[in-house]
Amino acid sequence: MKKKAASAGGAAAQESERLEACSEAASAPEPNEFEALGLPEPVLEGIRDAGFIRMTPIQRLALPITLAGKDLCGQAQTGTGKTATFLITLFARHLDELKPERRRPMALILAPTRELAQQIWREAMVLGGHTRFRLVAVYGGEGFAEQEKRLRSGVDVVVGTPGRLLDFVRRGALDLSRIRFLVIDEADRLLDMGFWDELKDILRRLPPASERQSMLFSATLDHRSKGIASRYMNHPEDVAVQPEQVTAEGVDQLVYHVSKDRKFSLLLGLLSREPVTKGLIFANMKVTVTWLARKLKDHGYRAEMLTGDMTQASRNRVLDRFKRGEFPLLVASDVASRGLHIDDVTHIFNYDVPQDPEDYVHRIGRTARAGKRGKAYTLACDDGCWYLPAIEQLVGSQLPYEIPDEADYGEDRTPQFTVRRMLREERHRGPERGPERTVRPAGGRSGEGRRPRGPRGRPEPSKPAPVQASGGDGARPDRRPQQEGQRRKRRRAGAGRKPARSTTGVTGQAGGAEGAAGA
């Protein structure tokens, strides 16, 4: 009996030890995959600050290549971790080359939009927070003088859009002759936006491809991207990441087939039913964005808009307020669908079906982040239905759809306020004048002094003034100035006289031209 009791006690102790070991293993921190890459400690500290533990597929494929100093062409969608890929490579490979006493740009990162440039700069500030790299982001829409001052004060890494970068290069504020590290991010988008000439101008000013490391990332490695790689890169290796699911896994997608004149009513119905805490509403045209924001405000919704023609300061203010939750709805054009990183977006509303399938992916990718769920509704009228097959081909599945019932619609209280009417009002006000602009006739309030209108509303031609007599009865009337000039010309012609030509005047003109040329 004692042996059995001892045996039972030993088994219980072993089971207790096993459970304790399992508990310790469960509570132990997950090993960081980036530590196996042999990165410098300052770079690893930045990776920990960013919360990165496991590498994404593009990072597993690309980092062994880029950390070895080779050029790379990467095919990857937005949100796959490609930004961290080239930033980690930059900081790890060039950490020992920093010269704080004589800073000159050693790295150049090209982005198609200011939103993406800002995003790259923010992520670089985190990943490089424990290094001594000095970074500057330059793009249009913000103070030119302030950005130029930062560049001239000495930088190591420059992130920017092609147009603004060239402005500083031509002013002598940015020297590209010592660039050792080049990144072309979203190359397909750069070319789609018409930056090919600017891109060539920048690449020609860089050191030869053999003297720098270059990376190109694009959603599609088409012949255009391959052409850039073959001409301006040094035998790059290709890596491609095809996500198991292009769109976010946690997004519930639904397409509504609706007539064009009832799209806004359906949007009102969705907003009234759905618990929208942060919602993005996308439209294809800037004028539609403006109209939607005004219509939603007229119906009591707190909504703001984001378009490409806003100043960068205005855009930043709107985005900051939206991130803080000061208003729940942000209406945006596709210029804002890329590069937006806003936490806790619950709903995406595609008021217009995007014409580019990739824009659909980028739009709905703003929700369902960090393991959360989100919803994406697309309102497809007859025109928009033409673009759905290409979207379904890209995402690899058929999008679920419904035909809304009458109960799904909301009440449009301002049906008379259409896009066309808004444009008419803006034309009536004028581009810079307010709505209270008044025009007074030259002759006062009674209308005197206005030229009479013809039968079609056009001003009638002015009639010559009546001839006034200069004296009493039988006095000869005055001649009009035109007639006097013609009479004098006839007299000169009859006398055979020609106007004298001044040799002094010719000499003076010649001397003046010579002086101007000499000056």
pLDDT at 506: 36
pLDDT at 3: 45
State the architecture of 251-429 in CATH terms: 3-Layer(aba) Sandwich (3.40)
- Pull the structure tokens for residue 327: 């208003």
Provide the phi-psi class of 134: left if phi over 0, else alpha when psi is between -120 and 50, else beta: beta
Q: Which residue has the tokens 């410098």?
A: 40
Query: What are the phi and psi torsion angles at 56 (to 5°)?
Result: -80, 165
Count, in order, helices (H) and strands (E) of the chain. 18, 14
Lowest mean pLDDT among 24-33, 73-82, 220-229, 463-472: 463-472
**What is the DSSP secondary structure assignment for residue 325, as one 8-state letter?**
T
Query: Cα(244)–Cα(447) distance, rounded to whole angstroms?
Result: 74
- Pull the structure tokens for residue 146: 């302030």
> With 70 as the cut, is the pLDDT of residue 216 above it?
yes
> With 70 as the cut, is the pLDDT of residue 412 above it?
yes
8 Å CB contact between 180 and 105:
no
Rounded to two decimals, the pTM is 0.55
One-letter identity of residue 255: V
Query: Looking at per-residue confidence, does 452 or 119 come out higher?
Result: 119
Instruction: Compute the average pLDDT of residues 145-155.
Output: 94
8 Å CB contact between 314 and 290:
no
Query: Cα(148)–Cα(13) distance, rounded to whole angstroms?
Result: 71
> With 60 as the cut, is the pLDDT of residue 360 above it?
yes
pLDDT digits (tens, 9 = 90+) for 441-468: 344 443 444 444 444 444 545 444 444 4
> With 60 as the cut, is the pLDDT of residue 478 above it?
no
Looking at the chain, the whole-number percentage of residues with pLDDT higher than 70 is: 73
Nearest to 291 by CA among 387, 425, 404: 425
Average of per-residue pLDDT values in the chain: 80
Q: Which residue has the tokens 């660039």?
A: 179
- Pull the structure tokens for residue 235: 């035998």
8 Å CB contact between 157 and 110:
no
The H or E element that residue 315 is part of is helix 312-323
Q: How far is CA 141 from CA 160, 166, 381, 458, 462, in A?
A: 12, 15, 35, 44, 50
Q: Which CATH class is domain 33-240?
A: alpha beta
The string over 61-77, giving b where at least 16 C-beta atoms fall within 10 Å of a residue's C-beta and e elsewhere, is: bbbebbbeebbbbbbbb
Query: Cα(240)–Cα(46) distance, rounded to whole angstroms?
Result: 26
**Long-range contacts made by residues 228-234, C-beta under 8 angstroms, separation at least 24?**
228/184, 228/187, 228/199, 228/203, 229/71, 229/73, 232/203, 232/206, 233/71, 233/73, 233/209, 234/71, 234/209, 234/210
HSE-CB at 301 with a 13 A cutoff on CA atoms is 26
8 Å CB contact between 162 and 119:
no
pLDDT at 396: 82
pLDDT at 14: 59
- Pull the structure tokens for residue 349: 């509303």
The H or E element that residue 515 is part of is helix 503-518
pLDDT band at residue 485 under the 50/70/90 scheme: low
Instruction: Compute the average pLDDT of residues 213-217.
Output: 97
**What is the DSSP secondary structure assignment for residue 400, as one 8-state letter?**
P
Task: Show me where the domains of the chain are located.
Answer: 33-240, 251-429
8 Å CB contact between 72 and 239:
yes
Lowest mean pLDDT among 142-156, 235-249, 298-312: 235-249
**Most confident of the following: 5-14, 176-185, 438-447:** 176-185
One-letter identity of residue 132: R
Alpha carbon of residue 50 to chain centroid: 25
pLDDT at 21: 53
Q: Which residue has the tokens 């985005």?
A: 319
Query: What are the phi and psi torsion angles at 375 (to 5°)?
Result: -125, 145
Q: Which residue has the tokens 């302030």?
A: 146
